[in-house]
């Protein structure tokens, strides 16, 4: 505890702001309260935030922003930041997809239960570029603490275009599962008839924060499949598989129990850009895919088409960075 207090104290000195100035900045900017936090481990959290304003209308799959002042403390051990004195008065905001725990007291969550916004966030302690600004601060939050929540919920990563009998598969890395949880709940609540599958690739089993909700869903709906891949557990050493590998080898379809037929299937991809492998267009309008090959290229080769709001398709993706 001594260490934590010392960290706080050092931070206060570093910001060069008095306690009163900090309280004033918080009152000026913060417009939401943390109503619950679940941490499967120190670097992963499911956090519910209740804004001071009515929750804006939104669709499953969309995102909003969360923010905290640079004056707030950071988790010990996070990459050091270099800030100018004036920066300590600013707020850092980042995009976060809306997630869902799917179940409440053994029943599917109903829209009227959603009096909060749920987020699924991983701590980024260090990166190759600039020091991560927000997550080292978000992971210091406790229930009852205040923060910034964006006034709008937005984004094109939605279920638009999915017909009730379509097959739908969600493919994610890590917290890229967040929007999928809410989309799966939405499909089930709206009486979706086609089969639904969700696959996620994480480092360790402990990184599967929603596994119980998905296993329960498999019981509730026998055509639902939840597929997990871990890359750092001892038993997968030397034979680890990523989402792209099971897509390429046919293992994904085998485990789903149905074929990825582009005529009746939508694929949603969210998280690490390397898994997604989104192409760019060259001067002649041809798609140029990145290396190594990502999921989008594998799907395009099989006859799938990238979705654009004005040119609908059946490959949908959201890159987290
Ligand atoms: C539309 C959208 C929705 C998003 N939704 C979520 C979400 O639901 N949950 C979530 O955890 N993140 C989500 N992100 C990422 C989020 O916005 C932040 O970038 C992330 O939380 C890190 O913030 P930071 O300020 O600590 O570091 P930043 O300064 O934002 O990032 C520093 C570096 O960390 C790496 N990084 C960023 N995000 C991750 C990650 N999730 N895992 C591993 N490395 C990462 C990248 O290399 C990045 O350049 C989303 C991003 C976008 C664009």
pLDDT in tens, the chain (321 residues): 456 555 556 666 667 899 999 999 999 999 999 999 999 999 999 999 999 999 999 999 999 999 999 999 999 999 999 999 999 999 999 999 999 999 999 999 999 999 999 999 999 999 998 999 999 999 999 999 999 999 999 999 999 999 999 999 999 999 999 999 999 999 999 999 999 999 999 999 999 999 999 999 999 999 999 999 999 999 999 999 999 999 999 999 999 999 999 999 999 999 999 999 999 999 999 999 999 999 999 999 999 999 999 999 999 999 999
151: exposed, middle or buried (Cβ count in 10 Å: 0-12, 13-18, 19+): exposed
- Among residues 222, 227, 319, the alpha carbon closest in space to that of 274 is found at 319
At residue 9, the pLDDT reads 60
Closest CA to 50 of 113, 136, 93: 113
Question: In Å, how far are 44, 49, 131, 151, 306 from 124, measured between CA atoms?
Answer: 10, 20, 9, 25, 29
- The CA 164 to ligand 1 mean position distance, Å, reads 32
Cβ atoms of residues 273 and 174 within 8 Å: no
pLDDT at 285: 92
| Ligand 1 closest atom vs CA 157 | 1
Does the fold of domain 167-319 match that of domain 2-149? no
Three-state DSSP class for 99? strand
How many angstroms does the Cα of residue 95 sit away from the middle of ligand 1? 8
| Res 16: pLDDT | 81
Report yes or no: 265 and 311 within 8 Å, Cβ to Cβ: no
Please report, for the chain, the start and end positions of each structural domain, with discontinuous segments joined by +.
2-149, 167-319
The CATH code of domain 167-319 reads 3.40.50.80
Kindly report the protein residue whose alpha carbon is nearest to atom 15 of ligand 1: 320
Closest approach atom of ligand 1 to CA 122: 11
Cis bond leading into 292, ω under 30°? yes
- Minimum CA distance residue for ligand 1 atom 3: 96
- Distances, alpha carbon 5 to alpha carbons 2, 37, 134, in Å: 5, 21, 20
φ/ψ (deg, to 5) at 34: -75, 120
Q: Closest residue (by CA) to atom 53 of ligand 1?
A: 320
Calculate how far, in angstroms, residue 321's C-alpha sits from the geometric centre of ligand 1. 6
- Distance of alpha carbon 291 from alpha carbon 139, whole angstroms: 34
Classify 2-149 by CATH class.
Answer: mainly beta
What separation in Å is there between the alpha carbon of 127 and the centre of ligand 1? 10
Q: Residues near ligand 1 with C-beta < 6 Å?
A: 63, 94-97, 119-122, 124, 127, 129-130, 132-135, 174-175, 178, 318, 320-321
pTM of the model: 0.96
Q: What is the DSSP letter of 308?
A: B
């Amino acid at each position: 505890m001594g260490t934590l207090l010392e960290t706080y104290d050092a931070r206060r000195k570093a910001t060069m702001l008095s306690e009163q100035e900090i309280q004033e900045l918080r009152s000026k900017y913060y417009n939401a309260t943390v109503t619950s936090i679940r941490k499967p481990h120190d670097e992963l959290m499911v956090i519910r935030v209740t804004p001071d304003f009515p929750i804006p209308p939104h669709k499953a799959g969309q995102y909003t922003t969360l923010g905290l002042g640079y004056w707030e403390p950071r988790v010990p051990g996070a990459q050091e930041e270099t800030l100018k004195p004036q920066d300590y008065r600013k707020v850092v905001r980042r995009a976060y997809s809306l997630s869902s725990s799917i179940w409440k007291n053994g029943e599917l969550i109903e829209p009227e239960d959603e009096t909060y916004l749920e987020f699924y966030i991983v701590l980024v302690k260090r990166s190759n570029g600039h020091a991560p600004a927000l997550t080292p601060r978000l992971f210091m939050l406790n229930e009852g603490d205040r923060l910034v929540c964006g006034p709008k919920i937005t984004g094109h990563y939605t279920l638009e275009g999915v017909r009730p009998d379509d097959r739908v598969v969600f493919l994610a890395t890590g917290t890229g599962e967040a929007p999928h949880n809410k989309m799966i709940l939405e499909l089930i609540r709206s009486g979706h008839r086609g089969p639904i599958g969700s696959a996620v690739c994480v480092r360790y089993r402990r990184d599967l924060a929603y596994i119980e909700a998905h296993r329960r869903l498999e019981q509730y709906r026998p055509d639902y499949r939840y597929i997990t891949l871990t890359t750092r557990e001892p038993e997968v050493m030397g034979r680890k598989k990523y989402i792209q590998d099971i897509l390429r080898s046919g293992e994904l379809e085998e485990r789903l129990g149905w074929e990825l037929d582009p005529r009746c299937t939508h694929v949603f991809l969210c998280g690490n850009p390397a898994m997604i492998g989104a192409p760019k267009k060259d001067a002649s309008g041809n798609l140029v895919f990145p290396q190594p090959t990502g999921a989008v290229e594998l799907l395009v080769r099989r006859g799938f088409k990238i979705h654009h709001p004005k040119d609908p398709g059946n490959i949908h993706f959201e890159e987290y960075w």
